[in-house]
């Protein structure tokens, strides 16, 4: 492990090299050079780093460079100067020191799914966990110890081998790390809360290179901030989760209705979920029908409304509960059955493969008003590509019973999360598809609650960060100042360290003025 911490480094080198705004200038200069000249790291420095880490160092000249830097959203195209493929937690402090010594930005990659693409930076150091995916389960204690490169599939498979699970997302190739640090929700959230509600502890490397444990009892302020504060507070090298008995079989599937029945289906859906037990989850999806074998061929490619159902518990009881949904309209078809939880967790993977171009927008809702439903139906009627969709995730339940100030993630009034999922293949469709997502986002905004889910925010939405944390922002800025005063970890939905004890909007305003005067 390196003994050089970033702050020690900063006292020996130009401190502006640690300032993100200064780094912004470095980037611009670098972009203007030819690709051949882009990387300006000495061979000695690289060799020295190699001698300090167990993992692999990947450079742009290496044959696996393009494969290693690939992330889920193909719209993000950036070329790090160097990638540290960590093999152990001890690889992180030298990677941080190296970045500081060479004046390079740090990005962190869990499984690379983030829509904003913050796992990658041009000419920075990427701390990559894609080879640290181990999940250890203590079935007796109902605990999982998870490395930061693990995907949801890695986690679900390990936990389900003991009949256990915790709420995570709905696409199995998503990373546990990014998902958890932003909040995390999925099919089990109604019953067992957000992913962060099930986090027991983390091992984290902070900006000064220290390896700490954070939990309710140890470094409690850091633990408070990490549960929702994203990658702002340090590099997490292990997550410890609480687990619940789930499955291994659950009852789940789809009911697909004609689009012209959208209003009646969604209105009844809204009423139904008000009183549905928390073991039952139902999400609504508006999109063009994929070529699913249980649908008539002439429905393929047409707009449809889908109710996606999920029930943990006795299958016969689940069928009874789900049965009224079939009468919300005249379905084109339905496909619901008992199946392994791990299989259901992969059900949407074929629609969410990496390599497409993606642009998302998101709102939280405390209720689905008529206005909200009308705008969803209007924009689902003009989908700009066959892959674009609007989904309403139901999260009402256990997550609403946690106080808003219990941790950084604060959307405890949110009952539904809306994702406007713009997705297409060709660069030439960028403008059209992005315009659709933005227009729908604007049209549905009046019906949304305040706040935003950081995990669904694009890079350009940094102005929504303080809204995302609301009343929790000031405390986060203070904790950021304590653990990362130079904002070393800024490639994220960034929380700025409180300048000179000033906090909140006023503090941020003054910080911006200070920076612009430099």
Ligand X SMILES: Cc1cc2nc3c(=O)[nH]c(=O)nc-3n(C[C@H](O)[C@H](O)[C@H](O)COP(=O)(O)OP(=O)(O)OC[C@H]3O[C@@H](n4cnc5c(N)ncnc54)[C@H](O)[C@@H]3O)c2cc1C
List contacts with ligand X (CB under 6 A): 72, 108-115, 118-119, 129, 148, 169-171, 174-175, 177-179, 181-182, 184-186, 230-231, 235-236, 352, 455, 491-492
Q: Could you tell me which residues are beta bridge partners of residue 336?
A: 253
Question: Is 79:62 a contact under the CB 8 Å cutoff?
Answer: no
Tokens of 223: 């633990």
Question: Is 149:130 a contact under the CB 8 Å cutoff?
Answer: yes
Question: Is 151:169 a contact under the CB 8 Å cutoff?
Answer: no
Q: How far apart are the first and last CA of the chain?
A: 35
User: Least distance in Å: CB of 423 to ligand X?
Assistant: 9
Q: Is 422 helix (H, G, I), strand (E, B) or coil?
A: strand
With respect to ligand X, which residue has the nearer C-beta, 110 or 507?
A: 110
Cα–Cα distance for residue pair 199/222, rounded to 1 Å: 13
Question: Is 230:492 a contact under the CB 8 Å cutoff?
Answer: yes
How many whole angstroms from its chain centre is CA 465? 14
User: Least distance in Å: CB of 408 to ligand X?
Assistant: 13
Phi, psi of 390 (to 5 degrees): -120, 125
C-alpha closest to that of 110 among 454, 492, 375, 482: 492
User: Least distance in Å: CB of 504 to ligand X?
Assistant: 23
User: Least distance in Å: CB of 139 to ligand X?
Assistant: 25
User: Least distance in Å: CB of 42 to ligand X?
Assistant: 27
DSSP class of residue 129?
-
User: Least distance in Å: CB of 500 to ligand X?
Assistant: 26
Question: Is 163:248 a contact under the CB 8 Å cutoff?
Answer: yes
With respect to ligand X, which residue has the nearer C-beta, 184 or 384?
A: 184
User: Least distance in Å: CB of 258 to ligand X?
Assistant: 26
With respect to ligand X, which residue has the nearer C-beta, 71 or 273?
A: 71
User: Least distance in Å: CB of 348 to ligand X?
Assistant: 8
Question: Is 478:111 a contact under the CB 8 Å cutoff?
Answer: no
Give the chain's length.
518
With respect to ligand X, which residue has the nearer C-beta, 118 or 385?
A: 118
Phi, psi of 364 (to 5 degrees): -100, 150
With respect to ligand X, which residue has the nearer C-beta, 125 or 299?
A: 125
With respect to ligand X, which residue has the nearer C-beta, 173 or 328?
A: 173
With respect to ligand X, which residue has the nearer C-beta, 109 or 270?
A: 109
């Amino acid at each position: 492990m390196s003994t050089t911490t970033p702050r020690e480094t900063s006292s020996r080198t130009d401190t502006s090299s640690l300032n993100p705004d200064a780094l912004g200038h470095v980037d611009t200069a670098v972009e203007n050079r030819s690709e051949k000249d882009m990387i300006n790291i000495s061979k000695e420095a690289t060799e020295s780093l190699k001698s300090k880490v167990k993992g692999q160092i990947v450079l742009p000249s290496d044959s696996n460079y393009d494969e290693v830097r690939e992330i889920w959203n193909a719209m993000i195209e950036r070329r790090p100067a160097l990638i540290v493929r960590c093999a152990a937690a001890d690889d992180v402090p030298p990677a941080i020191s190296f970045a500081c010594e060479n004046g390079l930005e740090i990005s962190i990659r869990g499984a690379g799914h983030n829509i904003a693409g913050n796992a990658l930076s041009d000419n920075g150091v990427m701390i990559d966990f894609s080879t640290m995916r181990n999940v250890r389960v203590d079935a007796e204690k109902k605990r999982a110890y998870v490395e930061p490169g693990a995907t949801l599939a890695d986690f679900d498979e390990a936990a389900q081998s003991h009949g256990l699970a915790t709420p995570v997302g709905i696409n199995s190739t998503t990373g546990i790390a990014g998902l958890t640090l932003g909040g995390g929700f999925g099919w089990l959230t109604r019953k067992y809360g957000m992913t962060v509600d099930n986090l027991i502890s983390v091992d984290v490397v902070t900006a000064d290179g220290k390896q700490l444990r954070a939990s309710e009892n140890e470094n409690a302020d850091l633990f408070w901030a990490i549960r929702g504060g994203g990658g702002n507070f340090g590099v997490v090298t292990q997550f410890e989760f609480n687990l619940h008995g789930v499955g291994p079989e659950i009852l789940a599937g789809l009911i697909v209705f004609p689009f012209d029945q959208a209003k009646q289906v969604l209105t009844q859906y809204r009423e139904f979920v008000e009183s549905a037990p928390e073991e039952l989850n139902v999400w609504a999806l508006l999109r063009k029908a994929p070529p699913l074998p249980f649908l008539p061929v002439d429905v393929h490619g047409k707009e449809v409304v889908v109710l996606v159902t999920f029930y943990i518990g006795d299958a016969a009881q689940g069928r009874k509960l789900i049965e009224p949904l079939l009468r919300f309209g005249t379905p084109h078809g339905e496909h619901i059955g008992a199946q392994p939880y791990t299989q259901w967790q992969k059900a949407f993977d074929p629609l969410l493969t990496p390599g497409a171009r993606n642009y998302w927008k998101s709102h939280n809702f405390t209720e689905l008003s008529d206005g909200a439903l009308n705008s969803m139906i209007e924009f689902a009627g003009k989908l700009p590509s066959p892959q674009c969709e609007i989904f309403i995730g139901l999260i009402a339940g256990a997550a609403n019973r946690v106080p808003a100030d219990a941790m950084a993630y604060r959307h405890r009034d949110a009952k539904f999360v809306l994702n406007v999922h713009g997705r297409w293949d060709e660069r030439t469709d960028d403008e059209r598809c992005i315009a659709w997502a933005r227009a729908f986002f604007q049209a549905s905004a009046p019906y949304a609650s305040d706040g935003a889910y950081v995990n669904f925010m694009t890079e350009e939405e940094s102005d929504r960060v303080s809204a995302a944390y609301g009343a929790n922002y000031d405390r986060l800025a203070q904790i950021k100042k304590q653990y990362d005063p130079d904002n070393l970890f800024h490639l994220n939905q960034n929380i700025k360290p409180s300048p000179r004890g000033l906090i909140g909007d006023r503090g941020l305003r003054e910080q911006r003025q200070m920076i612009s005067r430099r």
